Amino acid sequence: MAAGILARRLGDRRGRIEVIESPEIGTIGVGEATIPPLRLFNSALGLDENEFLRRTQGTIKLGIEFQDWSRIGHTYFHPFGVYGVGAETSALLQLWLSLQHSGERCSFEELSLNTVAAQLGRIAATQGADDALASVTAYAFHFDAGLYAAYLREYAEARGVSRIERKVVDVELRPEDGFIAALRLDDGSRVEADLFVDCSGFRGLLIEQALKTGYEDWTNWLPCDRAVAVPCASAGSLTPFTRSTARAAGWQWRIPLQHRIGNGYVYCSRFLSDDEAAATLMANLDGAPHAEPRFLRFTTGRRKKFWNKNCVALGLASGFLEPLESTSIHLIQRGLTHLLNLFPDRSFAPVLADEFNRIAIAKYERIRDFIILHYKATERNDSPLWRACREMDVPEPLAYRMRQFAHSGRVVRLSADLFVAPNWIAVLLGQGIFPAHHDPAVDQRDRTAIRRQLDAARAAIRWQAEAAPRHEDYIARNCRAAPPVAA
Ligand SMILES: Cc1cc2nc3c(=O)[nH]c(=O)nc-3n(C[C@H](O)[C@H](O)[C@H](O)COP(=O)(O)OP(=O)(O)OC[C@H]3O[C@@H](n4cnc5c(N)ncnc54)[C@H](O)[C@@H]3O)c2cc1C
């Protein structure tokens, strides 16, 4: 991603771009679910959407289904996009709350086109539209991360990026200021550069091992520190959503691709052994496993600085937030946007790094709080993990948001928020926080008119969802990938 977008956007300023990677070390390769801004990144690269889906065995994602999170047996959907038809989601929530408070029961979820379409296995488009996706404003993708990387490698190499298949064995620092001078490779060669982008994964080869930047640990709020992943055969219809199922010591993801389903159990090693996690995962697959389970370890948190001296850390080298809301790949792409906006010259003015770090830290912290909400706002007390999460203190900005919503459904907007009112409303309501009051101004309106407005919106949404193409038909017609070649 970094090499591709830098090659495309820097134009004549770009000089030489080299990617150094070691097949001996390999990639994590499990990032498979995304959020809608990925489409902006692909479009900045100039990729055709259907070609991208074909190349990556991709599918459409309309949101995430959360099972057993607020309590066992309860399911809610966090859709992309807004609620209602032509109304602002926060205003719609107030109308809905006024009916609830007067004893009328009706569903808020049915006011989301993505939610209704996802439940029907459809992709929410206007009836009869050939180019169905063009009429959907809020969707993302599931894809095979390894295939996306291979696709972007081809893209970058076609734009003059060179690739060195070698292991970095040493990092040389300039004695005068501690900037990185060069990397030493395992064949004895030396690579000098002005700017180093550290994409070396959890190890943070440059940002941490060489520059000793430091790490802020968030395990006290997000205690899961392991994952076990396994792909399996597809079974049943192709669901246009990610599923996240809360389990005793964490949660399990299910990500449907064209050629397989990606699965994993993110768990807390304080409460569950690796063997138990693998056994739970293997017992909860849709189809036959395609591989042996693969174990991963992580520490939730972030580097103290993302840009230090002449090194910018991206991806797992910059920090880790568990993939509950599919935000890691997005953070890489945002990091690249900010790097392009603040691109340095050889003097590396510290103000540029300061601004990059200010933005990146705020973004990370806002997303962190959104993820913590899923753990904190739960009625579950059936296992030590959930009891600990219910009892924990959360960061004050999140506590404040929860108080505001619990009082009267007010959604607080903070700078650097990735998730906006519809996202917060979906998860706050879904996790069981029901506002005690509503905006008194709504009581000036005739209740029958409010009911009619919501009924009409609900009916229009259902009609549109039922008329939309089925997900698998859309894929078959527009972007069916070639069957994978057996290894
Ligand atoms: C359990 C789990 C689930 C995830 N799910 C999602 C998801 O659903 N959605 C999402 O957006 N993100 C997800 N992520 C995050 C996503 O996987 C990563 O953000 C993404 O894969 C990028 O990884 P990376 O390139 O930073 O690191 P890696 O994939 O670890 O790549 C590191 C690279 O550095 C190279 N390297 C390392 N050391 C050396 C060396 N000494 N010499 C030469 N080369 C070296 C390696 O060869 C490799 O190419 C998930 C992560 C985990 C752990």
Report d(CA 213, CA 205) in Å as an integer: 11
* pLDDT attached to residue 134: 45
Report d(CA 91, CA 112) in Å as an integer: 14
| Strand duo 162-165 + 18-21: pairing | parallel
Nearest CA owner, ligand 1 atom 34: 200
Q: Is the CB of 319 within 6 Å of ligand 1?
A: no
Q: Is the CB of 37 within 6 Å of ligand 1?
A: no
Report d(CA 438, CA 358) in Å as an integer: 35
Nearest CA owner, ligand 1 atom 20: 31
Whether 462 and 409 have beta carbons less than 8 Å apart is answered as no
Calculate the dihedral angle through the C-alpha atoms of 457, 461, 464, 466, rounding to the nearest 10 degrees: -130
* pLDDT attached to residue 13: 67
Residue 76 Cα to ligand 1 midpoint, Å, equals 30
Name the residue with tokens 């203190």.
393
Q: Is the CB of 209 within 6 Å of ligand 1?
A: no
Residue 317 Cα to ligand 1 midpoint, Å, equals 8
Tokens standing for residue 418: 């990735």
Residue 25 Cα to ligand 1 midpoint, Å, equals 11
- What type of residue sits at position 283? A
- What type of residue sits at position 44? A
- Helix axis angle for 38-45 and 328-341, nearest 10°, is 50
Task: Look at residues 302, 322, 334, 282 and name the one whose alpha carbon lies nearest to residue 1.
Answer: 334
The DSSP code sequence of 132-143 is: GGGG-SS-EEE-
For the CA of 33, the closest atom of ligand 1 is 8
Q: Angle at Cα 243 formed by Cα 301 and Cα 227, nearest 5°?
A: 40
Q: Is the CB of 313 within 6 Å of ligand 1?
A: no
Whether 158 and 95 have beta carbons less than 8 Å apart is answered as no
Tokens standing for residue 166: 């070698």
Whether 184 and 172 have beta carbons less than 8 Å apart is answered as yes
Contacting residues for 225 by C-beta, under 8 A, at least 6 apart: 219, 268, 269, 297, 298, 299, 300
> What are the catalytic residues?
61
Residue 22 Cα to ligand 1 midpoint, Å, equals 13
Residues (pLDDT < 50) of the chain are: 126-136, 487
| Strand duo 301-303 + 215-217: pairing | antiparallel
Calculate the dihedral angle through the C-alpha atoms of 333, 336, 341, 346, rounding to the nearest 10 degrees: 180
Contacting residues for 273 by C-beta, under 8 A, at least 6 apart: none
* pLDDT attached to residue 486: 58
Whether 343 and 10 have beta carbons less than 8 Å apart is answered as yes
Report residue 244: phi and psi, to 5°: -125, 120
Element (H, E) at 173: strand 168-173
Q: Is the CB of 200 within 6 Å of ligand 1?
A: yes
